[in-house]
Structures are given as C-alpha cells and as structure tokens.
Chains A and B, each alone.
Chain A
Amino acid sequence: IAGITQAPTSQILAAGRRMTLRCTQDMRHNAMYWYRQDLGLGLRLIHYSNTAGTTGKGEVPDGYSVSRANTDDFPLTLASAVPSQTSVYFCASSRTSGSGTDTQYFGPGTRLTVL
C-alpha cells in the first residue's frame, strides 16, 4: 500500500513559471489537503477538499489553485511562481473531513525553490 505519493520530490523553478504539484492517495479517503511548511511558522493550510468535486480555501490560498476531479488525485497549481512560494509542500488525506479520531495522513512532501 503506497498511501500518499507526491511528485516531484523537489523542484527548482524560475519566478513567473507555472508549476503543478501532484498528489495521489490510494486509501479512498474523502478529504484531502495541501499545506506548506516554512521554518518557524509550522504547517499552514493552503486549500482543502472535503470530497471529490469540492474544494475550499485554507489559511494561505493566494497564488495557488486546486482541483479534485476524482477521489484519488488532488493537484496544486502555482499559476505564476514567486520567490515567497519557496517552501516544502505537504499533501495530506483523511477518511472524512474531520470526525472523531479521524486523523490526517501526510505524503512525503515536495521541496520547491523559486528563484
């Protein structure tokens, strides 16, 4: 069982370029999330999806977009990358959008550098 996979593992990107980070889960989880992790700031929620076909904005959505065409995939797109988007990006999923002990499982992360 792979759990959650992310691609690429790392990427160096020129400012102004478009970039899509891929996330796939094989656990048939309904909810999926994108976070960024920056030193001293912890994990911050960018966008989320409670179920296929729906998405919502998190704490830091500006400059990012997502789609959820099916249960397994949740890509994150940077339309025009800027240096402040340099970060480690984690995708996560949970069985539901947050009931009881339902916990989030995280992918291995994508380290993105925007120059």
Chain B
Amino acid sequence: GQNIDQPTEMTATEGAIVQINCTYQTSGFNGLFWYQQHAGEAPTFLSYNVLDGLEEKGRFSSFLSRSKGYSYLLLKELQMKDSASYLCAVRDHDYKLSFGAGTTVTVRA
C-alpha cells in the first residue's frame, strides 16, 4: 500500500508563491500526479512526474525526488481562483493511484 502525507491547509496572499509538499512511502512507484479540486467539483489534472527534477507548466511547477519519496507543487503569482484543494497521488506498481488527503489552499486579497 501507500502512505501519502501532505499538509491539511495553507493560506497565502494574492500574488505570492506557495509550495505544497508531499511525502510518500510506496510498495512500487510509477509516477506522481497532482490534481486540483475546487469545492464541490471534480479533481482535474495538473501535473505528472516520473523522473527526478522539476516540471514547469505556466504558473505551476512540480518537483520530484524519488530517493527521498518527496514531491512539491509550486504555485506562483497566486490568484483568487487558485483557492482549492490540491491532491497528491502516487501510481503504484499495479498502476493504481493512491491519493493523499489533500491540501486546502486559501488565497487572500
């Protein structure tokens, strides 16, 4: 099975940067995903990492260190619409996704 930990809540100011950490312990690893979920809506895909390093997509970046079982999602130039839950998910040796409980980010003006 998987053990995936991420902070429960984070608060930041509009225009700032926030980093959401995710640590995992797995029985196999075939990639790490980040999803965004607005309240009352479905999760939507943000990023995917399978090799060590940084993947950048506009204002969002995701980093992976497989040896440390660690990833982070970096949100830059925060906007009010970025207020949401961010879910870290690990794909295991059986190609199934296991999700962390999610980090609720609140962006304040």
Contact = CB atoms under 8 A, between A and B. Distances in A.
Size category of the A interface is 20 to 34
Interface in A27-75: 33, 35, 40-45, 48, 58-59
Q: Which of A40, A44, A101 has most B Cβ within 10 Å? A: A101
Contacts of B31: 101
B48 A106 contact: no
Where chain A touches its partner, the secondary structure class is loop
Contact of A101 (B48, B96, B97): B48
B99 A109 contact: no
A106 B99 contact: no
A89 B102 CA distance: 16
Given A98-B96, A100-B50, 20 more contacts: A41-B101, A42-B99, A43-B99, A44-B99, A45-B96, A45-B97, A48-B96, A58-B96, A59-B1, A97-B95, A98-B91, A101-B48, A103-B33, A103-B48, A104-B45, A105-B45, A106-B42, A108-B42, A109-B41, A109-B42
Interface of B: 1, 4, 30-31, 33, 41-45, 48, 50, 87, 89, 91, 95-102
